[in-house]
Amino acid sequence: MTALPITTAVIERSNETLAAAQAADYAALGEKLARRGVDIDALTAKAAAFFVAVPSWGVGTGGTRFARFPGVGEPRGIFEKLDDCAVIHQLGRATPRVSLHIPWDAADPAELKAKADSLGLGFDAMNSNTFQDHPKDPRQPLSYKYGSLSHTDRAVRDQAVEHNLATIELGRAIGSTALTVWVGDGSNFAGQADLGRAFDRYLDSMKRIAAALPDDWRVFSEHKMYEPAFYSTVVQDWGTSLMTAQELGAKAFCLVDLGHHAPNVNIEQIVARLIRAGKLGGFHFNDSRYGDDDLDTGSIDPFRLFLVFNELVEAGERLDALRPAHMIDQSHNVTDPIESLIRSANEIRRAYVQALLVDRVALAGFQEENDALMASETLKQAFRTDVEPILAKARQDAGGAIDPIRAYRDSGYRRTVGAKRPAAVGGGGGIV
């Protein structure tokens, strides 16, 4: 049995100094919400029951294609990554599952499961990687330079399909029930690829993957506007993703990565449409200013995140049937990844609670009357509410930290792993 990385004493000591102020803030917010007819404890219970998965690739320091500046005590493999994920969940209590990327995280399934069990973690959707070559993987000798699932060469497509099947197999052994497929397939020059045929080949490959899914599994197709291909991308937007999910049938859904759209695109409307189509499969949360920046969720545009959650809450029972997967997908280039992931998960919960605060009866009335200003104010009133005392109470009651970043810094975890894990060498780009 692996000991949990942060001791209870560290969390308790940190909470002791903050408990009185937290209780007072919670009581004050409770009174304020009661005047609006809202029961604060019911909100706290909903916040505490809302979880989001962390990406295994997010706990290592990220980089760009220009450079990567390693951090102190970076995890050397999936087992150390799981230790870091456990810290995030111990302090924040919002992230009990980890999303793996294969073959980056390939390991013996029994060992993966045992390690996760000992840390109180589980596994969320598996991600297959056919967007780079894997020279060390004997089962993937062919290059993905010109694509994977949509490649012109049948042998490369076969290899990419097989890799997805192997990813499902590993996921099945460790208790996952979903596969996320994102391919970088596309072209850099007009004329380089036949836009129609490339999509036909992609669909054909995806059908083979969907046909091999276990009964209780789902497959998510993740779209992305551009990068690594800069002229055309095979699965470039939610339209193509929806066509894919519809052709593939009942087990196929669309995954929305918030960073994978042109700036200013109305993502919450895309979410509303996918719910309407019964095809919203899940999210990769992050934030961005320009492109697929992979910045901390809610760090640039928390209002947009809130508007996405507003659609989710508005959907009510329709969403219960869809059970969308909530996952973070970020790259941390200048922050401690553990801190970024703790606060990102908290921002996601914050957006959820703020969305729960929207007076839906009033909003529907203003919409019916075409009272644009009051409809907008109804949303803004919820968004302006500082719900941090609710988030802190949910953490505290679940054994986490009232102020998780402070508790993390006080714990000295980064220093401790820095002494154990050799410093990584910086240099060229790359996302891991």
Binding-site ranges for ligand LRH (CB under 6 A)? 57, 127, 182, 222, 224, 257, 284, 292, 329, 431
- Measured over the CA atoms of residue 301, residue 61, residue 169 and residue 144, the dihedral's sign is positive
Instruction: State the binding partner of 309 from ligand LRH, Mn ion, none, CB within 5 to 8 A by kind.
Output: none
Query: In the complex, which residue's CB is closest to ligand LRH?
Result: 182
Cα distance from N-terminal residue to C-terminal residue, the chain: 29
* Among 101-109, 233-241, 253-261, 373-381, the segment contacting Mn ion (CB under 5 A): 253-261
Site for Mn ion in 275-314 (CB under 5 A): 284, 292
User: Which residue, 132 or 335, has its beta carbon nearer to ligand LRH?
Assistant: 132
Total residues contacting Mn ion by CB under 5 A comes to 4
Q: At what angle do helices 302-315 and 267-276 cross, to 10 degrees?
A: 20
User: Which residue, 222 or 347, has its beta carbon nearer to ligand LRH?
Assistant: 222
Residue of 168, 174, 199 whose CA lies nearest to 109:
174
User: Which residue, 127 or 205, has its beta carbon nearer to ligand LRH?
Assistant: 127
Round to whole Å and give the CA distance between 346 and 369.
35
Token pair in block for residue 228? 């690594």
Distances (CA, A) of 169 to 51, 86, 158, 164, 276: 25, 24, 16, 9, 32
**Under DSSP, is residue 151 helix (H, G, I), strand (E, B) or coil?**
coil
Please, what is the minimum distance in Å from the beta carbon of residue 133 to ligand LRH? Answer: 15
Please, what is the minimum distance in Å from the beta carbon of residue 127 to ligand LRH? Answer: 5
User: Which residue, 179 or 353, has its beta carbon nearer to ligand LRH?
Assistant: 179
**Under DSSP, is residue 137 helix (H, G, I), strand (E, B) or coil?**
coil
Bridge partners (DSSP) of residue 228 are none
Please, what is the minimum distance in Å from the beta carbon of residue 221 to ligand LRH? Answer: 11
Please, what is the minimum distance in Å from the beta carbon of residue 432 to ligand LRH? Answer: 8
User: Which residue, 84 or 222, has its beta carbon nearer to ligand LRH?
Assistant: 222
Instruction: State the binding partner of 15 from Mn ion, ligand LRH, none, CB within 5 to 8 A by kind.
Output: none
Instruction: State the binding partner of 336 from ligand LRH, Mn ion, none, CB within 5 to 8 A by kind.
Output: none
Which residues, 6+ apart, have CB-to-CB distance to 311 below 8 Å? Answer: 268, 271, 272, 275
Residue of 277, 195, 261 whose CA lies nearest to 227:
261
Instruction: State the binding partner of 127 from ligand LRH, Mn ion, none, CB within 5 to 8 A by kind.
Output: ligand LRH
Q: Is 339 in the site for Mn ion (CB under 5 A)?
A: no
Contact 288, 258 (CB under 8 A): yes
Q: Is 84 in the site for Mn ion (CB under 5 A)?
A: no
Binding site for Mn ion (CB under 5 A): 257, 284, 292, 329
